[in-house]
Structure formats: C-alpha cells, structure tokens
Amino acid sequence: MTSFLPLVAAVLFSIGAVGVLVRRNAIVILMCIELMLNAVNLTFAAYAYELRSMAGHVFIFFVMTVAAAEAAVGLGIVIAVFRKRRSADVDDVNLMKW
Amino acid sequence: MLAVNIIAFLAIFSALMVVFHRNPMVSVVFLIVNLVCIALFFLFLQAQFLFAIQIIVYAGAIMVLFVFVVMLLNLRREEETRPNWKVQRALAFAGGVLLVGALWSALWRRGASAEAFPGGFLDEFGTAEEVGRLLFTDYLFQFEAASVLLVVAMIGAVVLARRKES
C-alpha cells in the first residue's frame, strides 16, 4: 500500500497542477492549489508510515497551517478584486502581467 | 486492499471533477469528497490524529470558507473562451501527463529498498499525544513560527477584504 499511495498522490498533484493552468476562475485555482497541497500531505503520510517516523505527521500539520493561511488570504484577495472589477476571472486582472 | 483501491479511484475521480466541472459550487463539493478520501487514507496509514484534523480543519473550516466565498460572489457566468485558450489548454494537458510520467518513473526507480524497512510500530504512532510531544519539543520553533503565520494571515485577510471608507 505504501508504494501505491505515492503514485495516487502523484496523479492528484498533476491534476491540481493542470487545473491551475487550465481554469480561469480564481476560486477554482485556489481549490486546485488545495488539491496539490493534499497530494503532498498524502505522500508525507505514506512515507511516515513506511519509515515508521512521526516527522511526516508534524510536516502535514504545518502544511495544513499554511494551507489555511493561504486560503484565507487568497479568498480575501479574490473578494477585494471582485469588488473592484465585478469578476473573479484571472484574465481580467493582468495589469502586472508583463 | 479493495477498500483502498475504491478510495483511490474516488479521490482521482473527484479531483478530475474539481478541475473540469463548470460550476464552482460543484467543484467545492467534489473537493470535499476528495479531502474525505485523503482523510480515509490517513486512517489506513495509522495517522488517527491527522484523520481528525483533516476532517475538522480541512473539510470543515477551510471548505466552509470556500463555500461562503463561492456563494457570496455567486459566479454563474461561464468562463469565456480566449484566443490563445486552446494552445494553453493543450500545453497544460501535455505538461500534466509529463509530470505524472516523471513522478511515476521516479517512484518506480525508488524500488523496493525503502519498502523493506524493518522496525515495528511504536504504540503511540500517529496519536495526538505523540504529535503534540513532537510539536513542543523537536519542532517548537517551527510551531511558534506557524502561529505567527496564522496571526499574519488573519490580519491580512481582514485588511484585504475590508470595505474601503471613501
């Protein structure tokens, strides 16, 4: 099982990465980032189990902390942008693109 | 083992639905399914504490935040097509397939050496007690840094989402 779960995590991470590139809705992009962070968490847990080490669990704890902070700030930015532009489309927010 | 396969299938299916469903609200629901699947994986990997945290913090708190914002903005409009949309889409899919291939080949090459790790489990493996002990001994500084990060994120979110007085 521990050799099988990192493969699942790799697929989930790649789906999240493709989602960030393909979707234009800022909220869905944030969700795809959550998807990627969860894939990383799954890898951490699988290796923690395999190596009988609790360090992976502590790392997952920190990843969750960062994910919570990122979601709060990211959604705050989405709301601020939506107020100004009436849109959550990332292509409408390209002033600093190049 | 069958249960693990079913959960893995469900996790990948829900992840695909998150990415490809047009309606953000449906995406959020499938993301919750995905998070619950990962929580079940944690349970299989003897990480009971993380299972509880995953359900409470992730599927509970963070997803409520997402649901709230999706409903607040009420995004019904379809994402419109841009001129360079097709090229970017094709490149993204190619990159995703390449990424899966690269990660899989790396994981296969890792081979069975790590698999054969002997030691048995400690009794406290994965319990809240042991995670707490590690957080307050070996990872104390990182723990404090995480608390500072959370305070900064909280203040930042309030400042960003505040309505400007004009």
A11 touches B: beta carbon within 8 Å: yes
B109 within a domain of the structure (yes/no): no
Write out chain B residues lying below 8 Å of A45, CB-based.
41-42, 45, 47, 50
Residue range A67-98, pLDDT digits in tens: 999 999 999 999 888 888 887 788 777 777 66
Q: For each successive 10 residues of chain B (166 residues), what is the average pLDDT?
A: 90 93 90 94 91 92 91 72 74 91 83 57 80 91 94 91 72
Contacts of A28 in chain B (CB under 8 A): 18-19, 24, 27
Same domain, B2 and B71: yes
Q: Give the integer Cα–Cα distance in Å for B47 and B45.
A: 6
Q: For the residues A41-52, what does the mean pLDDT come to?
A: 89
CA distance B136 to chain A (A): 11
A8-26, pLDDT tens digit by residue?
Answer: 999 999 999 999 988 888 8
Rounded to a whole number of angstroms, the distance from the CA of A26 to the nearest CA of chain B is 10
A43 and B CB contact within 8 Å: no
- For residue B21, tell me if it sits in a domain: yes
**Residue B18 burial (10 A CB sphere; 0-12, 13-18, 19+):** buried
Of B15, B41, B76, which residue sits at a domain end?
B76
Q: Delineate the domains of chain A, giving CATH numbers in brackets.
A: 5-89 (1.10.287.3510)
Is residue B41, in this structure, part of any structural domain at all? yes
- Enter the ipTM: 0.91
Task: Give yes or no for A85 touching B (CB within 8 A).
Answer: no
The answer to whether residues B72 and B2 belong to one domain is yes
Which residues constitute the domain of residue B144?
A: 127-166
> How many structural domains is chain B composed of?
2
Question: Looking at residue B21, what is its pLDDT?
Answer: 87
Among residues B76, B97, B112, the one where a domain terminates is: B76
Which CATH number is B16's domain given?
A: 1.20.120.1200
Kindly state the tokens that stand for A18: 């493709």
Interval A50-71 mean pLDDT? 91
Residues B62 and B131 in one domain: no
Cα–Cα distance measured from residue B60 to residue B81, given in angstroms and rounded to the nearest whole number:
34
Q: What is residue A98's predicted lDDT score, i.e. its pLDDT?
A: 62
Instruction: Decide if B66 contacts A31 (C-beta within 8 A).
Output: yes
What's the confidence (pLDDT) of residue B78? 58
Domain closes at, from B76, B105, B138: B76
pLDDT of residue A1: 63
Return the pLDDT at B105. Answer: 86
Query: Residue B85 falls within a domain, yes or no?
Result: no
CB B36 within 8 A of CB B13: no
pTM of the model: 0.89
